[in-house]
């Protein structure tokens, strides 16, 4: 390791667009951009030093645990907000609350109906992509020349991009669902 005195300053080149977006984001949070970056670094290193406890909550459909009644009291505005969110996500208030609790316990996504629909469509598209690739491979294995054109590769690439966008959006929506604004 270099024994010279090292500067405690970290310089990051973001470019004008990313820097502007970061500054706007920090302004919305009421934080200085540099302190927000410092906190992000600290949080990341803490996650490495102190990993989360293993996710122990798993409920297998065939071996469901018995349910126990648990009553909570909500303010009128909390109940109204939960009702609105449940309506938007096309589920019951009970389902929304259970998903919120599970998200807190497991730190795993709990998908609403819109994300489930998007993931279903994404899987359908991914299966179609697999069929296309299998057809090309089958023809090549049969000794038939299958012209792989730039247009065909670009079409497959668009399907992959669409799939990754859908999955990313579903995961982001799930994570954002459980954060307070």
Whether the pLDDT of residue 58 is over 60: the answer is no
Whether the pLDDT of residue 52 is over 80: the answer is no
Q: pLDDT for 7-36, tens place per residue?
A: 888 888 888 998 898 888 888 878 888 888
Q: pLDDT for 103-149, tens place per residue?
A: 777 777 777 777 777 778 877 878 888 887 788 777 777 877 767 77
Q: pLDDT for 71-86, tens place per residue?
A: 999 999 999 999 998 8
Q: What is the mean pLDDT of residues 92-102?
A: 87
Whether the pLDDT of residue 60 is over 60: the answer is no
What's the confidence (pLDDT) of residue 146?
A: 66
Q: What number of other Cβ atoms are within 10 A of residue 136's Cβ?
A: 15
**Per-residue exposure over 75-112, b if at least 16 CB sit within 10 Å of its own CB, e if not:** eeeeeeebeebbeebebeeeebbebeebbeeeeebbbb
Contacts of 49 (CB under 8 A, 6+ apart): none
Nearest to 165 by CA among 125, 131, 108, 105: 125
| Residue 174 backbone phi and psi in degrees, to 5 | -65, -45
Q: What number of other Cβ atoms are within 10 A of residue 178's Cβ?
A: 15
């Amino acid at each position: 390791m270099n024994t010279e005195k090292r500067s405690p300053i970290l310089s990051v080149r973001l470019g004008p667009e990313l820097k502007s977006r970061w500054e706007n984001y920090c302004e919305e949070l009421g934080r200085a951009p540099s302190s927000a970056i410092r906190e992000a670094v600290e949080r990341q290193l803490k996650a490495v030093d102190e990993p989360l406890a293993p996710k122990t909550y798993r409920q297998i459909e065939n071996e469901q645990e018995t349910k126990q009644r648990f009553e909570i009291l909500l303010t009128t505005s909390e109940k109204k907000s939960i009702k609105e969110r449940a309506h938007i996500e096309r589920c019951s208030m009970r389902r929304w609350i259970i998903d919120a609790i599970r998200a807190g316990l497991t730190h795993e996504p709990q998908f609403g109906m819109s994300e489930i629909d998007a993931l279903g469509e994404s899987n359908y598209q991914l299966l179609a992509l697999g069929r296309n690739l299998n057809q090309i491979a089958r023809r090549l294995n049969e000794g038939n020349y299958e012209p792989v054109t730039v247009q065909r590769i670009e079409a497959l690439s668009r399907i992959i991009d669409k799939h990754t966008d859908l999955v990313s959006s579903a995961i982001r929506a799930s994570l954002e669902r459980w954060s307070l604004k």
